[in-house]
Amino acid sequence: MVMDGLGDRAVKELNWQTPLQAANRPNLNWFAEHGASGIVDIIGPGIRPGSDTAHLAILGYDPYLVYTGRGPFEAAGIGIVGNKGDVAFRCNFATVDEHLVVTDRRAGRIKEPDTAELAASLSGITIDGVQITVKEATEHRAVLLLRGEGLSAKVSDVDPHGDTKIHEAVPMDRDAKRTAKVVNAFVKRSYEVLNEHPVNQRRSKEGKPVANILLPRGAGIFPDIQPFEERYGMTAACVAGVSLIKGICRVCGLEVVEAKGATGGLDTDMLAKTRVALEQMESHDLVLMNVKASDIVSHDGNAQGKVKVVERLDEMAGLLREKLPENAVVAFVADHCTPIEVKDHSGDPVPLLIYCQGIVKDGNLTYDEGAAAKGGLGRIRGKDIMPILIDKAGRSEKFGS
Amino acid sequence: MVMDGLGDRAVKELNWQTPLQAANRPNLNWFAEHGASGIVDIIGPGIRPGSDTAHLAILGYDPYLVYTGRGPFEAAGIGIVGNKGDVAFRCNFATVDEHLVVTDRRAGRIKEPDTAELAASLSGITIDGVQITVKEATEHRAVLLLRGEGLSAKVSDVDPHGDTKIHEAVPMDRDAKRTAKVVNAFVKRSYEVLNEHPVNQRRSKEGKPVANILLPRGAGIFPDIQPFEERYGMTAACVAGVSLIKGICRVCGLEVVEAKGATGGLDTDMLAKTRVALEQMESHDLVLMNVKASDIVSHDGNAQGKVKVVERLDEMAGLLREKLPENAVVAFVADHCTPIEVKDHSGDPVPLLIYCQGIVKDGNLTYDEGAAAKGGLGRIRGKDIMPILIDKAGRSEKFGS
């Protein structure tokens, strides 16, 4: 159970407690009393993880080896899982004038079904032997995937990130020349196709900004990630509301299971998610569950809101406590800290709590940053979590004899 | 003092204590009170060590760099310490019919002196420029050592591990072709020599199965291990009953000292072993003592038996407490956990306890998995132990100025 951005620092408004410490959390504390706690440097001490690199580490991959940027994981989040060597870009549908100056970077926050129709009109074309796939994402967002020989992610953004003329994609090294050429040709084509598109003709008549160009940014090459099942000999599922987390799990070969009511927002149905996770445990060896709500309130700097989210997380823990199979191994962890005062991820270690039959209790009675730092698991790295859980589950291989 | 397989998990039969926690252990606890404890990932978090890789790590070697399989250490265990590049095999003396079908994989559990005579008849021959050494081991077991240019351990087992026709050694890569050829020629020769051997003619008359072939398996190449004394500038001795542990220590250049009554079994004379270890401290800078009994009861899943073994280990600690030279540094550790419920090695960290004059006490009053996890040494790696002990002994070199 990954509680996104859960870890925090002492908050003045909470009488110098952390939100976790300030919350009523009988179930998490029960697990602490009957399990063992520790703190985890998800990437390394003082290193601020992204949610993407953090989840890679929690799944046992070394993000320094396999993380190639957010693009591929965003693409996978909306269902486009590329092959090794494919290059993915995050894109905006935007409005430009005839000089290609951006007049609305979000094309009036255009959304489905318009974006789906526009994406379809760009998808499937080939430029210089490179196959193009475009798929709409949330609101005005989309993903562009290039597939072909000798592609590189070392190209600069076309999106000018402001209301100026669009940029040319510039190759950042010699190997990226071809990719930059393809990207620039594609952007030109997107303007030609979209500017005349019936959807935009209709929008124009309705007085809405047209989405007459696609602006790629954040290129990333699909990494060579050994599928989870091949790596560990275990099947795995993911229950998450947030697209990026789904994408990471998909790229690692986990089955992404939809839970009704899991939105990735504050309105998410946490208990529904927990029930789906419990169900998935019947057919999968590992289930990763991510809850984003704790990160959302943290980015907002909302201390009281975070306390309330923790109390909802504790209800999830209560359901797990009630329904967990006897031989299950469960870990409660955060992917990173998002301190209320920082309103962004920090490099603080996150509290980890492992519970299973036979675990040697460490005397902790609560689950929080302070108690975890004195727990029996000591201080470990994010990539250590998976080997420990696998060993607790009796599935580890012996090295030597 | 390496207490083999000592670490454990909470055991229901022991009221959810570990065997170490359940045992009466006044002397180990005395050392805990006057020393400092910690937990050790012998290889890494969650990684299940073998006794061989674990002892390499405890001696300060990186098993990922120097461990080349069990074969060479088994060979060294019975006294054949090869050079770098020599290839060792574990072997059985077996009975085959005229079609080379195995009829008894242990040749009626043949043993010395028969095996010694048979081994001698195969030892010293040369095939294709490769020198052959064969030496008898426990019961029907033996070791085969090949010495020559360009050998490889990437050859499959001749031993079919069942009552079928013997296998051909197959090279697993191009570099192993020559080795496979030599092994196959040797096995053929072993049949020719042994089938006619007077020992077997006598056994045949006595109605006992003949040991008319030697079946190699588990090839391993002798690693390039820097001798302990060269590495650390210290002399070292090993007191162990188990052949594999002796082998590891021999390959690392430790002097293996026999202790009368040290059997590597439950019947071992632990106090005799301790007395020999104390004696050896007069002539060696480091003495490694291994006691196997705790691992044996663990593999049997015998919780009460393990508690009793711990109480015998505590008597050893008592003798150390009484006789230890004033300036000695002593470490109590396990090479791995062998939880009663698992009946095999696990990847759990092991409890470590270091005692010497001047050590900063950590407030622990007991030596066990739970207390160690909260001890002053924190959570370290197996290969960290040796540098720490060397430093406590005032023998470490300064890095920088």
DSSP string for B286-339: EEEEEE-HHHHHHHTT-HHHHHHHHHHHHHHHHHHHHH--TT--EEEB-SSB--
Report helix, strand or coil for B37.
strand
Position B69 scores a pLDDT of 87
Q: In chain A, which residues have their Cβ closer than 8 Å to the Cβ of B346?
A: 391, 396
Q: pLDDT tens, A196-253?
A: 999 999 999 999 999 999 999 999 999 999 999 999 999 999 999 999 999 999 999 9
Q: Contact A400/B50, CB-based, under 8 Å?
A: yes
Would the CB atoms of B370 and A391 count as touching at under 8 Å? no
List the one residue out of A251, A221, A216, A256 whose CA is nearest residue A236.
A256
Nearest C-alpha in A relative to B218: A401
- Burial of B200 by CB count in 10 Å (0-12 exposed, 13-18 middle, 19+ buried)? buried
DSSP secondary-structure letter at B30?
H
Query: Distance from B343 to chain A by nearest Cα, in Å?
Result: 11
Contact B330, B356 (CB under 8 A): yes
Task: Report the predicted TM-score, pTM, of the whole model to 2 decimal places.
Answer: 0.91
CB contact under 8 A, A363 and B346: no
Q: Enumerate the residues of chain B whose CB falls inside 8 A of the CB of residue A36.
A: 373
Give me the torsion for CA of B152, B153, B156, B162, rounded to 10°.
Answer: 140
What are the angstrom distances between the C-alpha of A167 and each of A158, A184, A251, A348, B19?
Answer: 5, 9, 30, 37, 68
* Conformational region of residue B351, where left means phi above 0, alpha means psi within -120 to 50, and beta covers everything else: beta
Residues A272, A278, A281, CA angle at the centre, nearest 5°?
145
- Does residue A68 surpass a pLDDT of 90? no
In Å, how far are A233, A239, B267 from A279, measured between CA atoms?
A: 20, 11, 50
Distance CA B159, CA B154 (A): 15
CA–CA dist A59, A245 (Å, integer): 12
Output the pLDDT for position B171.
Answer: 97
- Report the chain B residue with the minimal C-alpha distance to residue A400: B50
Are A359 and B39 an interchain contact pair (Cβ–Cβ within 8 Å)?
A: no
Nearest to A200 by CA among A134, A122, A101, A127: A122
Separation CA B63–CA B61 (nearest Å): 6
Indicate the angle between helix axes B114-122 and B177-195, nearest 10 degrees.
Answer: 130
Residues of A in contact with B364 (CB under 8 A): none
Cβ <8 Å between B53 and A399: yes
Amino acid sitting at position B347: G
Q: Which residues pair with A217 in a beta bridge?
A: A90
pLDDT in tens, chain B (401 residues): 999 999 999 999 999 999 999 999 999 999 999 999 999 999 999 999 999 999 999 999 999 999 988 889 999 999 999 999 999 999 999 999 999 999 999 999 999 999 999 999 999 999 999 999 999 998 999 999 999 999 999 999 999 998 999 999 999 999 999 999 999 999 999 999 999 999 999 999 999 999 999 999 989 999 999 999 999 999 999 999 999 999 999 999 999 999 999 988 999 999 999 999 999 999 999 999 999 999 999 999 999 999 999 999 999 999 999 999 999 999 999 999 999 999 999 999 999 999 999 999 999 999 999 999 999 999 999 999 999 999 999 999 999 99
Site from B217, B346, B364, B380 to mutate, A interface, most A CB atoms within 10 angstroms: B346
- Residue A359 to chain B, least CA–CA distance (Å): 6
Tokens linked to A275: 């029930």
Residues in A touching B347 (Cβ below 8 Å): 387-388, 390-391, 396
Tokens 């393990």 -> residue: B306
Give the length of chain A. Answer: 401
pLDDT band at A401 (very low <50, low <70, confident <90, very high): confident
Out of B48, B373, B374, name the one closest to residue A396 (CB): B48
Q: Across chain A, what does the average pLDDT equal? A: 96
Q: With beta carbons under 8 A apart, name residues in chain B contacting A390.
A: 46, 347
Q: For the CA atoms of B226, B228, B231, B234, what is the dihedral angle to 10 degrees?
A: -160
Element (H, E) at B278: helix B270-280
Domains present along chain A, CATH in parentheses: 2-67+226-392 (3.40.720.10), 74-221 (no CATH)
Residues of chain A neighbouring B383 (CB-CB closer than 8 A): none
Quote the minimal CA–CA distance from A267 to chain B in Å: 37
Q: Do B373 and A36 touch (CB under 8 A)?
A: yes
CB-CB under 8 Å, A379 with B378: yes
A69: pLDDT strictly greater than 90: no
Radius of gyration of chain A (CA): 23
SS3 of residue B343 by DSSP: coil
Q: Which of B244, B370, B378 is facing A361, going by the closest CB pair? A: B370
d(CA B237, CA B257): 7
Given this model, what pLDDT does residue A330 score?
A: 98
Integer Cα distance of B77 and B68 in angstroms: 15
Is A378 within 8 Å of B48 when comparing Cβ atoms? no
Contact check, Cβ <8 Å, A380/B45: yes
Inter-chain CB proximity B9 and A360 less than 8 Å: yes
Q: What is the pLDDT of residue B88?
A: 96
Put simply, the answer to whether A379 touches B374 (Cβ < 8 Å) is no
User: What type of residue is B22?
Assistant: A
Residues of A in CB contact (< 8 Å) with B are 36, 358-363, 374-381, 384, 386-392, 394, 396-401
From A54's Cα to the closest Cα of chain B, the distance in A is 18
- Best residue in A37, A357, A360 to probe B by mutation, most B CBs within 10 Å? A360
CA distance linking residue B25 with residue B22, whole number of Å: 9
Per DSSP, helices labelled H in B196-237 are 198-205, 228-232
Residue of A nearest to B371 (CA): A362
Whole-number Å distance between alpha carbons of B174 and B207: 44
How far apart are alpha carbons A58 and A387 in whole angstroms?
A: 10
Give the separation between CA A63 and CA A252, rounded to whole angstroms: 12
Per the structure block, which two tokens stand in for A165? 């003329």
Longest dimension (CA), chain B: 75
Position A67 pLDDT exceeds 90:
yes
pLDDT band at A130 (very low <50, low <70, confident <90, very high): very high
CA gap B320, B315 in Å, rounded: 9
Closest to B348 (Cα-Cα) out of A316, A359, A380: A359
How many Cβ pairs closer than 8 A exist between chain A and B? 94
Q: Which residues contact A113 (CB under 8 A, 6 or more apart)?
A: none
- Residue from the list A360, A381, A401 with its beta carbon closest to the beta carbon of B52: A401
- Rounded percentage of chain A residues whose pLDDT exceeds 70: 100
Residue A174 backbone zone (phi > 0: left; psi -120 to 50: alpha; other: beta):
alpha
- Number of CB atoms found within 10 A of residue B108's CB: 18
Is residue B241 within 8 Å of B268, Cβ to Cβ?
Answer: yes
Test A360 with B39 for CB contact under 8 angstroms: no
Three-state DSSP state, B33:
helix
Q: How many CB atoms lie within 10 A of CB A347?
A: 15
Which pLDDT score, from 0 to 100, does residue B298 have? Answer: 98
Are A384 and B44 a contacting pair at CB < 8 A?
yes
Three-point CA angle B106, B112, B114, nearest 5°: 80
CA–CA distance, B268 with B259 (Å, rounded to integer): 10
pLDDT value at residue B274: 97
- CA B183, CA B171: separation in Å to the nearest integer? 10
The closest CB to that of B9, out of A359, A363, A397, belongs to: A359
